[in-house]
Amino acid sequence: MNLALAQIDVEPAARDRNVDRAIEAIGSAATEGADCVALPEIFDVGYFAFDAYERNAEPIGGGTHREIRAAAIQHDVAVLAGTVVEDLAASAAAGESVPATEGLANTAVLFDGDGERQLVYRKHHLFGYDSAEADLLVPGERLQTAEVRGHTVAVTTCYDLRFPELYRRLLEAGATMVLVPSAWPYPRVEHWKLLPRARAVENLLYVGAVNGSGSFQAADLVGRSSVYDPWGTPVATTDAGPTVVHAACPPERVTEVREEFPALGDRR
């Protein structure tokens, strides 16, 4: 699989411009041979634009998802629609399985190249430190995986990286790659470089950690989107500016590493 991490510039509460950037990045990544493109956390209005959450919330399959799905179909590429703020009541009314029948969630959706929805993930761990997320959102409950170009792909979101037990559950579900849409801010640069790498090392799988680029009143995003292989080796990375990161992620590499270093069999 050729994985592309679309580190787009995210403007606070500038939904249309941000979605346009995401669509442009999907097209650029596909032109460069991407099989799967991942977008950052709350890429449409920006994670730290808390005042914009409620007025921009959408159900699953809402306007933002329709636009990203159309881009996936146009370019015949799988797309992780980063995360957007989901209106749970509207999703429930449309027949979706939701963790609560009211409130908002931080929700990722994975589409395949035919535009079919393959996976929904709602952020499990909500950030409370110097953030309104824990007050505004409802945590997710379900874990799903999807098959993409030989990989069993799972998703977690940003702060989830600090909870390794979540990744063990994904490992047990068969995951060989975890995509992590994020809005990771300064000054915690070293944490951003350490935690995705540690999750890859612990579980002997690929981790694609995609961050945004840009500044908010409350924080600046560190960028530095990276792909780590099952040894924890960074196979592709970047700096803080907007760009698309590409990495070859052959699924057989996971099997090779797990056979060469069978530490997972020694768990007690």
DSSP characters for 1-70?
Answer: -EEEEEE-B--TT-HHHHHHHHHHHHHHHHHTT-SEEE--TTTTT-TT-GGGHHHH-B-TTSHHHHHHHH
Give pLDDT, residue 97: 96
| 173 phi/psi in degrees, rounded to 5 | -85, 0
Domains identified in the chain, total number: 1
Q: Which domain holds residue 187?
A: 2-266
pTM of the model: 0.98
Give pLDDT, residue 130: 79
Question: Per-residue b/e over 181-209, b at no fewer than 16 CB within 10 Å?
Answer: bbbbbeeeeeebbebbbbbbbebbbbbbb
Per-residue pLDDT for 24 more than 90? yes
Per-residue pLDDT for 129 more than 90? no
Over residues 91-116, the pLDDT tens digits come to 999 999 999 999 999 999 999 999 99
CATH number, domain with residue 202: 3.60.110.10
Over residues 44-71, the pLDDT tens digits come to 999 999 999 999 999 999 999 999 999 9
